[in-house]
Chains A and B, each alone.
Chain A
């Protein structure tokens, strides 16, 4: 089936002169640290959701989540950084180190003003923030950390990453709830088209502290089940909300020219298309996700028939699943494209989730395999989706579409393509 479609490949638009390619992946996920460990676990469908250990959940109805295991910040970061960073910033800094190492890039070899730093955020360093709020209100103003002014604000990861690597080019932070991980990549790609050679981008998020937890609980979207295998079930008859996780991915984006200039530059793939839209409230119809996907495909010069896999947003909230299934159906037809949601193994990673999906899409291209959606066993037939369930599907993947949505109406889509 896939092969037949591939033979009719057409390109609608000429490829833009400046290709943006991905050369490094820094991954911190509940299913693994680094692309190798993460990908092995993801292909096998290894679950990463379990009981929360970071704080005592006995007072909360939600008790499970996706924690990044075996992460010892002091093994990776200098001591001076520890008192000034939230857990999510530590994950982001270490992820960035790994991404650069994997890319074989030394920032000191590239003019510092030609390196951009663009991240996504949803919650900032809330665990840090909660601790300082508690100090302020329980002990008094003199007990608040001098680092509070920046450790919990939304811009912290871009600031800390840029300082660590001396990236003095464009800097930004995008917040569009769970769509932000794609918006950051879109923003970063724009910087490469405007003269930067390299961009550190993506999102890493963590809000596993009591103060964030009660906020998640009132979002109305969290699963009320505490069985890790039966809680987050997007597109399933039993869909009942999602599970919160932590982590994400930092990507090294480079211009094609920049990579080709240095020896041994590995290219995972190309960020070929990006678009974002918004769904204003009813009575307007909710069509923004489909439009974002179509615009991203147009931007990439790719026909829907050329897409080999869709990494779905897969919220796990029934009406949102229905809306996404409809969007995918209208673009690709019934059962028209393999659809997967490896985030079923990690929980939803907020600003980190969509960036991690882009990493997964690139790894799918690189390893010619689509990872499975785990735990989902009874997908609703009326969605007419070709969900990749149970086990990985091994096939040639050249083009992947990644979808993401943010609460309130944000939709974003990224098209990644093999590089040749």
Chain B
């Protein structure tokens, strides 16, 4: 009998919503949280937009030490993890810590702190030999992002396998997929997983400017990210974190846990094509989708909803539309598709996990969040993208996908667990 990984707790720090309830409400209402960047002066940059989290670390329960020591991405992770741990209803000290593991996704780790400290140490870039007298004691923890996984592990006293999975923009799916595999193979019974990212600093904005991947609709921030729309002009960066507690099904059933759903199947692949470009035929993403569906034991007609990557770049939206058609065949036309990045931006290594948590809303409430800002679909994007307004629909099986720099293509199938308590 194979072991199944189910979701029994979630925690969210999202643009426009902190906490799972507010987050699901935002998605259900199709509200957008994209705006002109307030965290730093973005006026020198081509794209000045982002979906920012209004985050008061002290109000969210972080100690002064944590606030001073931790990068914003680590702070998001801790706040989301605390919510998720409580959400499970588990009495954590009753569990064997050796059977609890950590798998956390992040694409750029503590870049914001690294850049801030660089500016000081290099005298605003004047010196190559940065000054050792101006380094903060936590610099090494910013340097390698496994420090974030360690923080989350310390929070709960986890002693099982722990790692960061850093596969760029698919990190948030891949970390959860990895966690599910560790449960399936019997290495752990409980995994704290998910993704976190706080990339909103000049160097990240410039990276995307340089390759013209971000939207320049600076005067129309709230509707800037327009996945699948004819007028889309790029992605809008975001930030946030989503933490999920995965539990082995029997383990969860024994304690009468609420079960949000099951990680039915997962696949992550390299497209071996280009570090930033996508092959328009979508074959690599389609391979990942096929593998995830096969893993989950579901066919194209059983997918009730597709949660798209939907970054809003010209090439992505065509690429994944092609991939859905390749994998689902004619069923692709009958399956609702929507993209949350239209509302909460693209938070790189966190977004995959935020999307997984978002997908639990249609699975539990039968309400599919819309693709915001989609007024007129691109003729090359001819699927049912649930524009503007959420749609009621029975959803038991969801496909969620991600695609990112480095050529990573990931897909995950989420399923409702029959007879489980929700």
Contact = CB atoms under 8 A, between A and B. Distances in A.
A361 B166 CA distance: 27
Interface in B122-170: 122, 124-126, 128-132, 135-140, 142-147, 149-150, 153-154, 156-168
B135 A218 contact: yes
A228 B352 CA distance: 46
A150 interface: yes
B275 A160 contact: yes
B208 A149 contact: yes
Contacts of B121: 211, 214
A122 B144 contact: yes
B207 A172 contact: no
A222 B379 CA distance: 59
Contacts of B160: 277-278
Contacts of B302: none
Interface string A133-156: 111111111001111111001111
A: contact size bracket:
35 or more
A319 B144 CA distance: 22
B150 A137 contact: no
What is the interface of chain A mostly: helix, strand, loop, or mixed?
A: mixed
Contact of A168 (B185, B270, B275): B270
Most chain A beta carbons < 10 A, residue from B97, B122, B171, B406? B406
Contacts of B163: 174-176, 180, 183, 276, 410
Contacts of A58: 129
Given A148-B210, A168-B270, A278-B161, A175 B102 contact: no
Interface residues of B, number: 83
B58 interface: no
A148 B275 contact: no
A150 B44 contact: no
B320 to A, nearest CB: 17
A83 interface: no
Contact of A122 (B130, B132, B146, B150): B146
A216 B131 CA distance: 13
A244 B59 CA distance: 40
Contacts of B128: 55, 130, 134, 210
Interface stretch (B107-115, B238-246, B307-315, B362-370): B107-115
Contacts of A173: 165-167
Contact of A158 (B119, B126, B406): B406
B162 A176 contact: yes
A379 interface: no
Nearest to A175: B164
Contact of A169 (B124, B211, B269): B269
Interface stretch (A309-317, A331-339, A401-409): A401-409
Given A140-B44, A141-B209, A280 B165 contact: no
A180 B162 contact: no
Interface in A180-219: 180, 183, 187, 190, 207, 210-212, 214-219
14 contacts: A58-B129, A133-B122, A138-B124, A139-B125, A147-B275, A155-B171, A156-B275, A158-B167, A158-B406, A160-B406, A180-B146, A210-B130, A215-B142, A217-B132
Interface of A: 55-56, 58-61, 84, 112-113, 117, 121-123, 126, 129-130, 132-141, 144-150, 153-156, 158-160, 162-163, 165-177, 180, 183, 187, 190, 207, 210-212, 214-220, 275-281, 284, 288, 291, 350, 406-410
Question: What are the 6 A-B residue pairs with the smallest beta carbon separation, nearest first?
Answer: A159-B406, A408-B150, A137-B125, A138-B125, A162-B270, A171-B270
